[in-house]
Amino acid sequence: MPPQDPEQARWFVDEVLPHESKLRAWIRARFPGVADVDDLVQDAYSRLLRAHASGPIANPKAFLFVTARNLALNHLRHQGYERPPGMMEMDPLSVLDDALAAPEALAQREDFQVLIEAIQSLPDRCRQVVTLRKIYGLSQKEVAARLGISEHTVEAQGAIGLRKCVEFFRRRGHGRTARP
């Protein structure tokens, strides 16, 4: 599913595609039971693009890897597999770009920690909706079904949650300006 919007396409090429080879290698290494890595990567891209279309994503690489992990686990679960012996839960901070210089890596980790704090500070329903929509990449319909609420409520709570997260970032001096 290629992005239709030129700005989204540029964002995808700049922020997401550079991680494709690492993502594929990571999936193959951690989930050898997944037969079709191409389908899984495309599915992760699709969810990432849907999430980006509804609002900014603080760390596209982390979002991509977490989404791919969840998709792989769901795929294996449907095949009746358990987590392979020795496979540990992924630390989201481990997917941050290790090619960054120390100051940039530290700043990125701090931003990620602030995002976690922002999400944790949300009221329960907002936190659930934002987490399911933005972190796990579920559709409004899927979130509504999972939480037993209307799609309108998912949309409203998601908007409230994102607005509160932006405010949280601004209060802590983490506001960013858009790139030219």
- The answer to whether position 95 is within a domain reads no
In a domain, 33, yes or no: yes
What is the average per-residue pLDDT within 9-13?
A: 85
- Identify the domain boundary among 40, 71, 90: 90
Please tell me the pTM assigned to this model. Answer: 0.46
CA angle in degrees (0–180, nearest 5) for 90-65-158: 100
Based on the structure, what is the number of domains in the chain? 2
Instruction: Place 153 in a pLDDT band, splitting at 50, 70 and 90.
Output: very high
- From 58, 68, 56, 55, select the one nearest 19 (Cα to Cα): 68
State whether 54 and 85 are in the same domain. Answer: yes
CA 145 to chain centroid, in Å, comes to 20
One domain for residues 75 and 2: yes
pLDDT confidence of residue 106: 57
- Which of 72, 90, 108 is a domain's end point? 90
Domain around 54: 1-90
Among 90, 110, 128, the domain boundary falls at 90
Residues 52, 130, single domain; the answer is no
Task: Measure CA of the first residue to CA of the last residue in the chain; give whole Å.
Answer: 25
Q: Average the pLDDT over 21-28 and give the result.
A: 89
Q: Within this chain, do residues 7 and 79 fall inside the same structural domain, yes or no?
A: yes
For 98-148, the pLDDT digits (tens) are: 555 556 655 666 767 777 788 888 998 998 898 888 877 888 898 999 899
Same domain, 77 and 129: no
What CATH number is given to the structural domain containing 144?
1.10.10.10
The predicted structure's pLDDT at residue 105: 57
pLDDT at 19 over 60: yes
pLDDT of 173: 73
Provide the pLDDT confidence category of residue 82 given band limits of 50, 70 and 90.
Answer: very low
Amino acid at 99: A
Same domain, 40 and 116: no
Distance, CA of 56 to CA of 1 (rounded, Å): 19
Report whether 125 contacts 158 (CB < 8 A).
no
- DSSP class of residue 92 equals G
CA distance 52 to 12: 9
pLDDT one-digit tens code per residue, 26-72: 888 888 878 889 999 999 998 888 888 888 888 888 888 888 988 88
Q: Indicate whether 147 belongs to any domain.
A: yes
